[in-house]
Amino acid sequence: MIKKISRHASSSTVTNLSELMISLSSTLICRIAFGKRYEDEGTEKSRFHELVNEVQAMLAVFYVSDYIPFMGWIDKLIGLHKRLDRIYKQMDEFYHEVIDERLNQNIEKEKEVIVDVLLQLKKQSSVSNDFTYNHIKGVFMNILVAGTDTTAAMLVWAMTALIKNPRVMKKAQEEIRKFGGNKIFLDEDDIQNFPYLKAVIKETLRLYLPAPLLMPREANENCIIDGYQIQAKTIVFVNAWTIQRDPKAWKNPEEFYPERFLNSAIDFEGQDYKLIPFGAGRRICPGLHMTVPTLGLVLTNLFHSFDWELPQGLVKEDIDNEMLPGITQHKKNPLCLCAKNHM
């Protein structure tokens, strides 16, 4: 990623950060889950990214049957069922290839990835009958789609907020460069020295949380919430977007102001209910422990290695905050910025 942006900077080419972050996120996820990289040019890369884009597009589609079940024939009429079946078969084939490839290799213990752990779990006699290849493929889908989608979206929103707030960007950049010095690459250990950057990440997650309604929950027993009777089996949506912009909980909630988190114990791990971008409780999003370190690592190196500015002719007011419909809150229009080499 850094090399690609550096080439863009050297040739004064505008960088499409939205596209770059999707590519980066999917590459990271694939290395962790499948032990493979899909960032090199070629047919395999094109096929992989095409599949990921197709799946993400289908997640944002409005299905009539979800809201008016007896009118589900409309979904079939406009071709949604056919498209969904096609994508399912393609993804199933892709996952099967990943499984076969790992089964046919002798993997050293220290080089094992998620797929290897799942395959070992399947071999165990105690779970082999209940844990099938279809279960493994289901885990793959959750990791790939949810991990790629949310991480990329948060990186783009963070850069959007920072380019629209030059004061904050300059302050974060100065903190990073003061410590980073002449290092070529800063790692996760270095991030511990950047309290202001951590505040920037918290503020990004407050204003631009990955999933505004979190994931749906089902009540497992009758209960009462704020005077409302909720019956067992009821699907409950938590409007975290509104909670995190509530003026009763936050001063100037619409302002991007990371300083609100400096010298504050408020965190996003589910203990402070006014900041729940990943949910809370036993069902808190497990991606928390990958998304947040990735945000820190990528932003640290983007600001350590480059100076960022808007393309010629644009001002910060031209950068919109419009969002695409879907489970994950994506920026509607791609974020395109100009980078200048600093290192």
Which residues fall in the annotated binding site? 285
The pair of structure tokens assigned to 12 is: 């004064």
SS3 of residue 310 by DSSP: coil
**Local structure of residue 11 (DSSP, 8 states):** T
How far out from the chain centre does Cα 340 lie?
Answer: 26
Distance CA 20, CA 302 (A): 12
Distance CA 247, CA 254 (A): 9
Whose tokens are 């950047």? That residue is 194
Question: Is the distance from CB of 140 to CB of 98 less than 8 angstroms?
Answer: yes
| Ordered DSSP codes for 42-110 | SHHHHHHHHHHHHHHHHHTPPPHHHH-GGGTHHHHHTTHHHHHHHHHHHHHHHHHHHHHHHHTS---GG
Annotated binding-site residues for heme read: 285
Distance CA 214, CA 125 (A): 36
Burial (CB < 10 A; 0-12, 13-18, 19+), residue 330, is buried
Question: Is the distance from CB of 255 to CB of 288 less than 8 angstroms?
Answer: no
For residue 188, give every residue at least 6 positions away whose Cβ sits within 8 Å of its Cβ, in sequence order, or none.
293, 296, 297
Strand partners, 224: 229
Distance CA 33, CA 138 (A): 13
